[in-house]
Structures are given as structure tokens and as C-alpha cells.
Amino acid sequence: MQPKGDIQTVAINTIRTLAMDAVQAANSGHPGTPMAMAPVAYTLWQQFLRFDPSDPIWPNRDRFVLSMGHASMLLYSMLHLTQVKAVNPQYETLGKLSVPLDDIKRFRQLDSRCPGHPEYRWTSGIETTTGPLGQGVATSVGMAIAGKWMAATFNRPNFEMFNFDVYALAGDGCLMEGASHEAASLAGHLRLSNLCWVYDNNKITIEGHTDWAFSEDVATRFIAYGWNVLRVGDANDVERLAKAFQTFKKTTDRPTLIIVDSHIAWGSPNKQDTHSAHGEPLGEDEIKLTKKNYGWPEDAKFLVPDGVLQHFAGGMGKRGGEARGQWMQLFEQYKKEHPQLGDAMQRMQKRQLPDGWDKDIPVFPADPKGAAGRDASGKVLNALAKNIPWLIGGSADLAPSTKTRLTFDGAGDFGHPDAEVDPHAPKGTHVSFAGRNFHFGVRELAMGSVLNGMALSKVRAYGSGFMVFSDFSRPAIRLSSIMEVPVVYIFTHDSIGVGEDGPTHQPIEHLAALRAIPGLITLRPGDANEVAEAWRVIMQLRHEPVCLILSRQAMPTLDRTKYGAASGVKNGAYVLACNAPDGKPEVILIGTGSEVGLVVEAYEKLKAEGVKARAVSMPSWELFEHQDAAYREKVLPASCAARVGVEQAGGFGWERYIGTRGEMVAMKTFGASAPLKELQKKFGFTADGVIAAAKRDMGKA
């Protein structure tokens, strides 16, 4: 039996019934929103989304972000019905479907291409991992920013290489989360006309009706942000939806919010519990009643009726394929007329580096006074960015403190071309969408999400702030790791070295919290040359996000003719010095960051006393764990149980390196407000304090 209705109605109901059947088979998930939003997804994908199912990573494709990731079956249905092809990590199209029907039948089951929430890199056609509400829409802002930047950077007369739009589908929960507020404010300020959010205004959350906690005027709020706001009173009104998307396409001076009123209802008069329907399977009886109401075969499961695949192929597939084909032809001409830009575009898309990218990384001379980690980083960053044109980023209103401003000629500031230049900005500053200095404002959470969106669009993005405020960015950092995108987070003011600002600004538990995130690399370099080598490591990463942890205070620049080469940073930990001729030290001192200089000072004093000691710099636990067992044993020989760890942070986790009997010179409380030297003395971060710990550990106290 063929379902009733014209092909458009049948196609929309196919999206709905696949969602119902998958959730029921899994006995887990959310069928309501996919059913309610099926006409929206259908209209957008079939008529407007410029996307080629045969090449889902085509650089100038439109992006679709399902911010309300709990409605994942909506996306999986679309990926299957439009026959999106799978792509492997080598950017090769495999010729098989990204989402076969068998995977939909195994929704939310182990190894299915249809997990509970959409996961980037797991299923081709998914632009970003979503699930934590608000993160998807915030990430979409980063994609739109990247689109504007790439257009301004690569487009040339007669060669419009980038002009893609970004669509995000959001629910009430997304708009309640703070990330969406921060991101929407930034998008409005930047006038991102290539960004369209669709708000499913269904007035239902897990606890019930949104009136329990959410009564603001969303439309007025977004108008205040500087958005164009449209409304479609019925999610089933395909004509009104199309007109709304057409209006977005014609809007050139601001982002667009389309508010779509929907109701989670099933067509069955017996189904009154919309809350349970929102968050639970419908049940076999209710599914049959709903299918009957659709004019659908009641006992058919996972039915894709005749003509539906062909319908999508003739719409989205045909339009997207033609657009991609024209773009590829244009790109071949572009490479001939603009070979340097063409080469840069290709390398950027594959996360490759330009030739000579590291030729200007500075080498810092030995200096007992040294330099702050943030100052050394600023110099290295500028040297790299001159040679890596797509290395772009900024700060959460802290560039003067984090030293992340790009100061070379032509760097510029990112912003709408009509924006006024800050009168306090450096002379010659210009604002455009090709600018490479980003101003995220005091929005650490949105900054992290935006960086994810930028990185997903293949620019190399970095953002910076104070280490203590990494808490605000943590949800986005975690998603960077889950998605394996190489975002660079630069966190300065990394310890009680912040001094007079006191406990609220002195990070204690933050290093341990970041180190706990799987796949994230933390780097806390101990002098200027370690900073340079840390950046050398960072730029060669393709799938790992990094937190570069930097000091505000000066650190002595070690004499590398006397101590181990800073290139050891790439191994995570390395021997700085050892005065045990037989390679069997009595005690090992391990330091990170600003405490490396302290470890060296204590080592020299122990050496003078005749103690066989070893000084080790350990800028990255993660990189050290990547080394083989032989290397790790070489740096931290098991024969030496007397070990002292030194770090101006909580000691949580250090047992893996100092053992259960080792000593830890670390913070056991929050800090205090005082000048740095007083704090170091109060909390035991002195050479004498380290030496005392070493002697206790050796039993010589």
C-alpha cells in the first residue's frame, strides 16, 4: 500500500515515520520534535540548502546545524533520504551511504551511524557534534564568521569562491542556555547576514510547559541584538516557511531568526500527554493511530515509499550537484589565475601547513631575568601568523593581557566593514571581514563555541583568556576534544602568580580539570624557548585541541648549553640536568611552567651539596603519555622512588608521576591577595621549600 497524499506530503511523513519507528525500536529517544519539525527540515533541505549529497565536505556548501541534538532522528532521516555519501578521514568519498537504513533501524545502538546525538567525524553530513543545548547555535556563529572571513580573504573579481550560508535549528532549551545569548549578541554585532537560526517554538521542555521558567519575548530580544526576526505561525505551512527562507536570503545586513510555532501532537485524539511524547517512545498502539492519521500503512516499519528518494534527488541532489560542479570548475580556473591563494585554500581545507611555516620562530637567549610566558608567546604567535595566513583568533576582551594581538602589517581587525575603528587601536588599524584579530567580548563560553565553528570550517582558530576563566569555556573545550578539532586555547595568568587580584583570579584546580578531558593536550611551558617549542608542537596537530598555559610573571630563560634542549617539549617531559654519572639519581625534581626555574635552582643547590639529583621539565602530561615505555623510563626511572613534583596548582593527579610516597609542592587551598614574592613564600614555592621536600623524601631531613 502506497501512503496517501502528494509526493511532498509523503516525503514529509517519511521523515516523521522513520523517526517514530527508530525511537520505538530503540525504546529510547525523542520522536516529538523530529515529527513537528519535519516540514521545516524538508523545506530547507529540498528548496534552499546548497549541499551536494555526493560530496558532503565540498568547501562552499551551506551548513546545517541541529542544535537541539536530542532530535537527532530528524537529521538522520534527512541524511538517509537525500542519500548523503560517506567520507573517510583522508577526505575520500567512499560511494556508500553515510546513513544506511539499517543504521536507522539500530538507532542509539552500539556502533550505529545513528547515535543518540549527532556526532561530527562519526557520520558524514553532520557538521558539528550537538547535544549540550545552546552549543550548536553558538558553534554556527563560528561557521558564519569563518564564511565571512574566507569570502573576504579568498574571493576575487569573477571568482566568488565562498558565499555559503549557515542554518541552525534550535529549541526552547537552546535559547534558554547562556551560550545562545552570548553568541546571538556577537552575531548581531558583527551583522552576520549569512546566518539563519530557526527557533522551534513548541513551548515544551523536559519538565513540561516552558511557562514554568521561560516567559521572555524572544522576538524583541533578538531585535535588540540586531537580528531580522520573522515568524511562521504553523510549522506545517510549507509555503510560509519557504517565504521566510527567501526573506533570509535577501537580507544582507544582519542575521535572521525565524520563529516557527509548532505543537508536539500526533494526530491521535487519544494522545494527550505531550510531555511524555516529547521525551519517550510513543508505543506501538499510538504509532499505528498516528500512521493511520497520516494515511500511512499502519503495520509498515521503516518504510521509504516509492518516489521519495527520487524526489529528494531531483530537488536538493540536483541543485547541490550542479552548484558543486560549477564551483569545482571555477576553482580550477582560480588556481591558474591565483595560484598562491589556490594553494593556501587547499592546504587549509586539509589542515596542512604552508612551506616555511616555522622559519621565523624565535630562539630566545639565556637570561636570568627571562620573560613572561605570555610575552614570549605573543612574539612566537606573530612570527607564525605571518607565515600561516589562516591562523586567526583573538581574546575574550583580554588581548592586551594575553598578548594575542597580531601586530604585523595587514593583520587588521575582524568586523563588519562599516564598523567604526576603535580610536584607541594602533595607528593604521583597519576593520574588515578579512581581519585576523578577533574581538569576542567578555563572552568566554561563546568564544569557545565560536572557535569550534571556525575550526570546523577549517581555519586555524585560537582564543585566549585568563586561566581561571577556562571554567566558562569548558563545555566548548570538551566538545573540541570529542570532535577532534585543533582549536588552540591560550590561557594566561596561570597561577597564584596573578598576585594581588587574589583567590578569585588565581587558578588552583583548573589544570587538573583540563588534564581530565580525554584527547585534550595541555602545555605549560617553563621558559621562553619552551613556549616557542610548544607552539611548534601545536601547529602540527591536526585532530587535538590544545590549552597553552602561560605565566604572567617572568620566568628565567635557561641556558640551553647547560640544560637539556627545549625541543624536548615535543615529548611532554625531558631531562634538564642530572648529576648522577651512573644515571641513577637519588631524587628527581619535576616542574612545570613557572616552577621549572624553581626546580633548576633547587637542583643546583642539591648538586652543590653532593646529592645526586635530576631536574625534569614536564610541560605536558598528555604528550609524555604518548611516548613509549622506554622513553618514559629514561626520564623517570623506576629505580628512583624519591620524587618531588612542583606546580603552583592543586596536586590532584600527580601521584602517577611522584608515586604514593613522593612529595608534592603544590597548592592545598585557594590563594590569597598579595604581591607574588609574598605568596611564593607563604605557600612554600621557594628553593628551600623544594629542597626540604626532597630531603624528606630521601629520608635525609
CA distance 519 to 121: 14
DSSP structural state of residue 366: P
Is position 182 annotated as part of the catalytic site?
Answer: no
- Cα 518 from Cα 544, distance rounded (Å): 10
Distance CA 374, CA 403 (A): 6
Q: How long, in residues, is the chain? A: 701
Q: Strands (DSSP E) along 596-688, which ranges?
A: 613-617, 643-650, 663-667
Q: Residues with Cβ < 8 Å from 473, sequence gap 6 or more? A: 444, 445, 447, 448, 463, 465, 489
Range list of H helices, 543-646: 595-608, 621-625, 629-635
Bridge partners for 488 per DSSP:
462, 546
* 3-class secondary structure, 432: strand
* E strands, 67-201, in order: 85-87, 93-97, 166-170, 195-201
Instruction: Give the residue carrying C-alpha cell 549557515.
Output: 166
CA 264 – CA 268 distance, rounded (Å): 11
Distances, alpha carbon 53 to alpha carbons 107, 113, 167, in Å: 21, 16, 17
Say how far apart CA 464 and CA 462 lie, in whole Å. 7
Pairing assessment for the beta strands 460-466 and 431-432 based on DSSP bridges = unpaired
d(CA 696, CA 22): 63
CA–CA distances in Å: residue 461 to residues 486, 494, 549 = 8, 21, 16
CA distances from 422 to 30, 132, 415, 549 (A): 48, 35, 11, 29
Q: Do 492 and 464 contact (CB within 8 A), yes or no?
A: yes
- Burial grade of 149 (CB within 10 A; 0-12, 13-18, 19 or more): buried
Active-site option among 444, 586, 595, 622: 444
Please identify which residue in the block is written with the cell numbers 557534534: 129
Contact between 46 and 315 (Cβ < 8 Å): yes
CA 389 to CA 436: how far, in whole Å?
9
Contact 227, 256 (CB under 8 A): yes
Determine how β-strand 554-557 pairs with β-strand 367-372. Answer: antiparallel
**What is the torsion angle, in degrees rounded to the nearest 10, for the CA atoms of residue 382, residue 441, residue 434 and residue 540?**
40
Assess contact for 575 and 635: CB atoms under 8 A: yes
CA–CA separation, 320 vs 325, rounded Å? 8
Give the integer Cα–Cα distance in Å for 38 and 31: 11
**Cell matching residue 700:** 635525609
Please report, to the nearest 10 degrees, the dihedral formed by the alpha carbons of residues 683, 689, 690, 692 taken in order: -140
The radius of gyration computed from the CA coordinates of the chain, to the nearest angstrom, equals 28
Separation between Cα atoms, residue 542 and residue 451, nearest integer Å: 15
Q: How far is CA 58 from the centre of its chain?
A: 20
**Residues tagged active-site:** 444
